[in-house]
Amino acid sequence: MATHRKPPKTRSGRRSTRSPRKSSPRAGRSRPSSWSWWRLALLLVVAGAATYGVFRWVRAPVARPDLSQGPDQEQGEVERVGPRDAETVSPDASDPILGDVEDRSIGGPEVVPGDDSDLPVGHLAIVIDDLGRSLEDIDRLESLGIPLSYAVLPFESRTEQVVQRLGDSNREILCHLPMEAVHGNNPGPGALVLGMSPRQLAKATRAAVDRIPGAVGVNNHMGSGLTSDRDSMEAILQVLRDEELFFLDSRTSPDTVAFDIARSLNIPTAERQVFLDTDPSVEAIRLQFDRLREIAGQKGAAIAIGHPYPSTLEVLAEEVAKSQALGFDFVPVSFLLERTGLQ
């Protein structure tokens, strides 16, 4: 049975009849524990990090396309491509043979490129033959602004003045040595011909070279007959070796032995690859210049021979600028010599 608890006595000894005070709702709550404070702090940290991330995302820069690049270009470093591998250019059997000229492509001097990515597409050397008759020819050729090689006939009317002009300008001069042709064409005064003894050939060669002071080399004028005769060419080339002159075989005959003999004598030598103006029409010369660039692009270098014809000068003025824009470099022919046996 439940017992009834009596109310406590007051200081006066009387028992209180007032009902006990109800506790307020606030008094009934407990204080937050340490675990509750930790959870609150964690929530604040997470909320702060999320807010900072959103702020950074909003402020992040937008990647934009590089408008300086073309639509087909990749950004970044461009890989440079060096010169094409050298290949032998096959002779064109359809080339005409006019007069004392055998115009066919042959393998040019091969230039082996290194790792320099700034190498030109190819080296072009142009030799202008048959000079010695006019100073005006020199003025027109000089206006081209490239290092030509000037082949001067030794016994012409203006030979001395032409050589003087070229020497004063420090140009590369060759003695354009007249030799006998098989077609009966006249090579001009002082020509070396079949039937001369080795001593006579040597004397005539020295006389011609002496007429071109400052010459650094020799090439044949005509000579389809003489350059095919081994004994004659040995006598002539011995003089060039003694005079320390190089030899450029103009290749006026497919039977020439001059280049091979010069190599066997350790004479610096070269062969031409293209005749520019066998056909002196402007259209034909342009086609020949295209062939010159093609050979130089494949072999690394090519040598052309031309003459101071008005049509040749007209085409040269056009094709020199075009070739330079394509990356070809013009050099004197002495830059493209083979120096067999020499260090």
**Cα–Cα dist 231/198, whole Å:** 8
**Cα–Cα dist 245/241, whole Å:** 6
Task: Tell me the per-residue pLDDT of 65-95, one tens digit each, with 9 for 90 and over.
Answer: 222 223 222 222 222 222 222 222 233 322 3
Task: Tell me the per-residue pLDDT of 139-149, one tens digit each, with 9 for 90 and over.
Answer: 999 999 999 99
For residue 48, the model assigns a pLDDT of: 62
For residue 61, the model assigns a pLDDT of: 36
The secondary structure of residue 217, as a DSSP letter, is E
Q: Which residue has the higher pLDDT, 69 or 175?
A: 175
For residue 120, the model assigns a pLDDT of: 82
For residue 183, the model assigns a pLDDT of: 85
User: In Å, what is the CA distance from 269 to each residue of 172, 214, 238, 262, 328?
Assistant: 15, 18, 13, 6, 22
For residue 339, the model assigns a pLDDT of: 82
In degrees rounded to 5, what are phi and psi of residue 246?
A: -85, 170
pLDDT-derived band at 45 (thresholds 50, 70, 90) equals low
Q: Which residue has the higher pLDDT, 236 or 49?
A: 236
Checking if the pLDDT of 20 tops 70, the result is no
Checking if the pLDDT of 246 tops 70, the result is yes
Checking if the pLDDT of 1 tops 80, the result is no
The C-alpha R_g of the chain, in whole angstroms, comes to: 47
* pTM flag (> 0.75): no
pLDDT-derived band at 49 (thresholds 50, 70, 90) equals low
Question: What number of other Cβ atoms are within 10 A of residue 269's Cβ?
Answer: 25
Mean pLDDT over 108-121 rounds to 53
- The pair of structure tokens assigned to 264 is 């066997």
- The pair of structure tokens assigned to 31 is 């204080």
Q: Which residues contact 141 (CB under 8 A, 6 or more apart)?
A: 128, 148, 150, 308, 313
In the chain, pLDDT over 70 holds for what percent of residues?
64
Q: Average model confidence (pLDDT) for the chain? A: 77
**Cα–Cα dist 178/130, whole Å:** 10
Helices (H), the chain: 25-28, 34-59, 135-142, 159-168, 198-210, 230-242, 258-264, 282-299, 310-325
Domain boundaries, the chain: 122-336
For residue 28, the model assigns a pLDDT of: 45
Q: Which CATH number fits domain 122-336: 3.20.20.370, 3.40.50.720, 2.30.330.10, 2.60.40.10?
A: 3.20.20.370
Number of H helices, E strands in the chain: 9, 9
Confirm if 177 and 152 have CB atoms less than 8 A apart: no
pLDDT-derived band at 118 (thresholds 50, 70, 90) equals low
For residue 274, the model assigns a pLDDT of: 98
For residue 283, the model assigns a pLDDT of: 98
Task: Tell me the per-residue pLDDT of 186-232, one tens digit each, with 9 for 90 and over.
Answer: 999 999 999 999 999 999 999 999 999 999 999 999 999 999 999 99
- Residues across the chain: 343
Question: What number of other Cβ atoms are within 10 A of residue 237's Cβ?
Answer: 23
16-30, 169-183, 220-234, 265-279: least confidently modelled range = 16-30
Q: How does DSSP assign 95-137, residue by residue?
A: ----TT------PPPPP---S-TT--SEEEEEEEEEESS-HHH
